[in-house]
Amino acid sequence: MKRTYLSLFFVVWGAALLQAQSVDSLWAKANEAYAQARYQEAFDHYKSIYDRGVGSAALYYNMGNSAFKTAHYAHAILWFERAKRLDPQNADIMYNLDLANRFCLDKITPLPEFFLHTWLRTVRDSLSANSWAWTTLLFLILAGLLLLTFFFGRSRIGRRWAFYGSICVLLLAMSAFSFGWSQREQLLRRDYAVVFAPVVAVKSAPDKQGKDLFIIHEGTKIRFLDQVGVWGRIELADGRQGWIEAEQAERI
């Protein structure tokens, strides 16, 4: 039995090592192809890494760059959006995403957002979900130390400040936890998508016989609100809604 477990360990370890070597080799080949302006080849190598179950902001960013260089702007937007989900504060990702969006036919003006919501999202995205988790833990430890000071401190004034301080730190811990939870939920959401069909007629109902409400084009970012069979109810950034066939868009 011990030999069986030991053999299994070496098999798994060996497979993981070969996988890592394969990914490193593909990464090097992709970077070399990109440097030599063989952009489609570079994209194919990056895609092979993705197909092996590897994902990162750097990988998606490079895939977006490769797709952009081959004028596949919808693909570029998709991969830049996926990179943005993992690294929302990366200026290079945001710049290249904005550049790719300029090649879209649809120029959609988003609905105005309440300034407090914008500020809270900016604070949330300033750290990763893991960083918010560590921040929450540190605040909880600090709150625990302040409570110990409150219960066992000798100075009355010191105990009072420790009590009020522990309340403030606990509130900060709750805020950090909520930011981390919100960002985790954002990473798990798959309701946003990028249109891949050249032209899509948005319908008034989930049926091909439905009335055409408006037209959207390849590269437009949409949000799926609901799905009935092969039809998805979508919403644009400007608030317009309708139905399209779900396969006409790729989830971010």
pLDDT in tens, 193-221: 999 999 999 999 999 999 999 999 999 99
Last residue of a domain, one of 138, 155, 188: 188
Do 12 and 93 reside in the same domain of the chain?
yes
User: Looking at the structure, do residues 95 and 7 belong to the same domain, yes or no?
Assistant: yes
- 175 shares a domain with 202: no
Q: Residue 211: which domain range?
A: 192-251
Answer yes or no: is 219 within a domain: yes
Q: How many domains does the chain have?
A: 3
CA 124 to each of CA 80, 239, 252: distance values in angstroms, whole numbers, following the listed order: 20, 24, 20
Same structural domain, 184 and 207: no
| Res. 5 pLDDT band, cuts 50 70 90 | very low
Cβ 215 vs Cβ 202: under 8 Å: yes
- Strand (E) positions, the chain? 192-195, 199-203, 212-217, 221-228, 231-235, 241-245, 249-251
pLDDT, tens only, 18-69: 455 688 999 999 999 999 999 999 999 999 999 999 999 999 999 999 999 9
**Whose CA is closest to 233, among 220, 246, 221, 242?**
242
Residues 214 and 128 in one domain: no
Q: Please tell me the pTM assigned to this model.
A: 0.79
Residue 132 forms part of a structural domain: yes
Is residue 106 assigned to a domain? no
Q: How far apart are the first and last CA of the chain?
A: 45
Same domain, 82 and 133: no
